[in-house]
Amino acid sequence: MRSVLITGSTDGIGAESARVFGAQGDDVIVSGRDASKGAMVVDQIVQNGGSARFVPADLSSLDALRDLAAEAGDVDVLVNNAGMAPVSATVGQDPEVFERTVALNLRAPYFLTQALVPGMMERGQGVIVNISTVASFIAVPFLSVYSATKAAINELTRTWAAEFADRGVRVNAIAPGPVETAMYDSMGERAKEFDEGTMLGRAARTREIADVVAFVASDKASYMTGAVVPVDGGGAAL
């Protein structure tokens, strides 16, 4: 049984990924800020016959990040999913929101990986899956900070893949397009523009993303590393 830590897994893509990993027999560590939502995801996994526990963490804090890594222990699969996507014109970007976005989207996965990957390398195996976005490939007005942090995640994916490959650790990223989540709903009318920017003309269901996350973390993807995989309804190809 693998130990799988998924950050930001109290709802959205993270929660659905937790349910998928739990259903396939992995021991899932659900993490996020909302304990009630986390408990709900854990209950869903356990009621379906799986194994899961909740560890609270606000990953904008380095101390909380270190506590999460210590509580998680030996992790076989790390899914760096937690993030935020503030919608703002560059000229009106709030500096505090900027700092929090960089801390959550970039600093947190960097230092959580730093804390957990030594154990993977020592054991000679492990998988890291970073959640990016199609907005890291294409220009999306008013998502400048989000897009920039996720573009950095794409490069970290490639760099980490090169650094860790000889120690048996694979690193890939998934780049979703619009997905039916609370973050997506918060974008209001702009969400429809994202739907229209895909070949399929709709947002993805969270399960459609979670299944790809589980695939790249599985042995079926054993020859994949350093890849940033668009799962975007064809949006990046237009």
Number of domains into which the chain is organized: 1
CB 157 within 8 A of CB 78: no
Confidence at residue 121, expressed as pLDDT on a 0 to 100 scale: 98
Phi-psi category of residue 25: left, alpha or beta, with phi > 0 → left and psi -120 to 50 → alpha: left
Residue 77 has pLDDT above 70, yes or no: yes
The pTM score is 0.96
Structure token pair of residue 137: 């490939």
Print the domain residue range for 44.
3-237
Rounded CA separation 190/184 (Å): 9
Question: What pLDDT is stored for residue 237 in this prediction?
Answer: 86
Q: What are the catalytic residues?
A: 146
Give the per-residue pLDDT at 148.
97
pLDDT at residue 181, rounded to an integer: 86
Residues of the chain by 3-state class (helix, strand, coil), percent to 5: 50, 20, 30
**Cα-based torsion angle of the residue sequence 11, 12, 13, 17 in order, rounded to the nearest 10 degrees:** 40
Each residue of 96-128: pLDDT tens digit? 999 999 999 999 999 999 999 999 999 999 999
Q: What is the pLDDT of residues 8-48, one digit of tens each?
A: 999 999 999 999 999 999 999 999 999 999 999 999 999 99
CATH of the domain at 18: 3.40.50.720
Average pLDDT, whole number, for the chain?
A: 94
Q: What is the pLDDT of residue 187?
A: 67
